A and B are shown apart, each in its own frame.
Chain A
Amino acid sequence: MAEIALKPTTRLTNIVVDIADLAVSKDPGALLITYSLGSCIGVSIWDPVAKVAGLLHYMLPESSISPDKAKANPAMFCDTGVPKLFKAVYQLGATKRRLVVKVAGGSQLLDDKGTFNIGKRNYLALRKIFWKNGIMIDGEHIGGSISRTVRMEVTTGTVIIKTRGGEVPL
């Protein structure tokens, strides 16, 4: 499978975002990347003027199940991770109204009947928090029974979703 070249002439530094983790950057030579999104959701935000990018990989919808863990690691939950991601890009000079927002993940098992439907709950939690805050989703790659890797270039905001089947820009 041929990898889509984001910027063939430059060598980019990978900033890897682990599960329950987030990263922001304004380094033009950086690529934010997160591997193996399952029922988790990857939220990428980018300001085209300030050239600031942020990527969050949260795993669960609500911090109320464990306030202690949310305090130690806000990126674990949607309701604590998303505000933290937005605040972090604002600190680097991004502005809310310019942000391009793309999301991926929320996978589910085969024939899921509800108990294990964390992917769907994760996605609904995200829609809810975005709706409350007047944030539009500009692109999404959600659901199904697949694993996804998200790559995001800081200077161009290009987001690529990689699955076993190939790569698509979002």
Chain B
Amino acid sequence: MIDIQLEQLIQRAESLPKLPDTTVRLIRVINDPASTFQQIVDVIRFDQTVTTELLRLCNSAYFGLSRPIVSIDDAVRYVGTAKLMQLVMAAHTHALLGPEQAGYGLLPGALWSHSVGVALACQVMAGYLKIQDKGLLFTVGLLHDIGKIVLNENVGAEYAGIVRIVNDEKIPFHEAERRMFGITHAEVGELVANRWKLPHPIPCCIRYHHEPAALPTPDPIIDALHLADTACLLLGIGGGDDSHMYRIDEDVLERTGIKTGEIENIGATVVTELKSVQKLFGFE
């Protein structure tokens, strides 16, 4: 086993591009059941750059609105808070998730596409599974793989050895990471989310996205995230070299009752949506 010092990982996590303050504030207010609609709008209103960017997005062909949107109140009225929040978060994570992660075989833009794809898939999944908390699902979908950015270099150096463990021991890629480094990209992700002081249960969802069975009791949000992530990995939505070396948890399939047809439908919807989001931001 290659021993990675926790300190070293934390240091690397510290040097990641920071999520913009507005995004972190947004994540906090959206995921706080006590926060009001006005508080959410205010987070945006007081950030001039975000306001300008949002107005540009709202007036783009993506929304195809018949009248010009000139204020945040207008934007919220015509586009909806949830959609606006999602676009702000997708745009703001591009600096962090956009660069190539060669260790995982993720080309430039691939991790961002995968993350937005999983976030969108989580939203569709929420509909199927009747989960109310769509904001939380979108957030965890978008951030579930942040640990890969930190572990990328180590995975690149030991890739052949990790795949050998996957093949010899018939275990998924994240478990092979644990054998190799003593920690998985999902656990590193939890660490990063805690450093960023993202509210509960975001760090926990990130940690268990590949192993929902490791939780003491099943969690609907983590089930949905696991299904959404595995579907996007399988379909190659922002795929890397490790994409297929994972397992679907059969108990989650049974609990949720999700079938092949639904997975295919989700895939079709996500790719269609993702293409329009990529076009909107010019991240093609």
- CB within 8 Å of B: which residues of A? 18-20, 35-40, 59-61, 65-66, 69, 72-73, 76, 107-119, 121, 144-147, 163-164
Contacts and interface: CB of A to CB of B under 8 A. Distances in A.
A118 B113 CA distance: 20
B235 A147 contact: no
Given A65-B261, A109-B246, A36 B268 contact: no
Interface in B254-273: 258-261, 263-265, 267-269, 271-272
B237 interface: yes
B236 A38 contact: yes
B141 interface: no
Given A76-B271, A164-B105, A110 B260 contact: no
A51 B260 CA distance: 39
A147 B239 contact: yes
Contacts, number: 118
A110 B275 CA distance: 28
A19 B236 contact: yes
A148 to B, nearest CB: 9
6 contacts: A18-B284, A19-B237, A69-B269, A107-B234, A107-B243, A110-B246
A65 B240 contact: no
A149 to B, nearest CB: 9
B260 A116 contact: yes
Nearest to A66: B268
A37 to B, nearest CB: 6
Closest 4 interchain pairs by CB?
A: A38-B236, A36-B239, A145-B244, A164-B241
A69 B268 contact: yes
- Give the one of B163, B166, B236 with max A CB within 10 A: B236
Contacts of A110: 166, 170, 172, 244-247
Interface of B: 105, 107, 110, 159, 163, 166, 170, 172, 230-231, 233-241, 243-248, 250, 253, 258-261, 263-265, 267-269, 271-272, 275, 284
A112 B107 contact: no
Contact of B271 (A19, A36, A116, A146): A19
B55 to A, nearest CB: 28
Contact of A39 (B159, B235, B253): B235
B170 A69 contact: no
A158 to B, nearest CB: 22
A65 to B, nearest CB: 5
**Which applies to chain A's interface (DSSP): helix, strand, loop or mixed?**
loop
Nearest to A37: B236
Contacts of B272: 20, 69, 72-73, 76
Contacts of A114: 260
Contacts of A18: 275, 284
A69 B240 CA distance: 26
A39 B260 contact: no
A117 B239 CA distance: 17
B247 A111 contact: yes
A107 B107 CA distance: 19
Contacts of A163: 241
A38 B271 contact: no
A112 to B, nearest CB: 7
Given A19-B236, A60-B268, 6 more contacts: A20-B271, A20-B272, A69-B272, A109-B244, A111-B247, A118-B235
A144 to B, nearest CB: 8
A20 B271 CA distance: 8
A38 B239 contact: yes
Nearest to B284: A18
Contact of B235 (A59, A65, A112): A59
Contacts of A38: 233-236, 239, 243-244
Contacts of B159: 164
Nearest to A105: B236
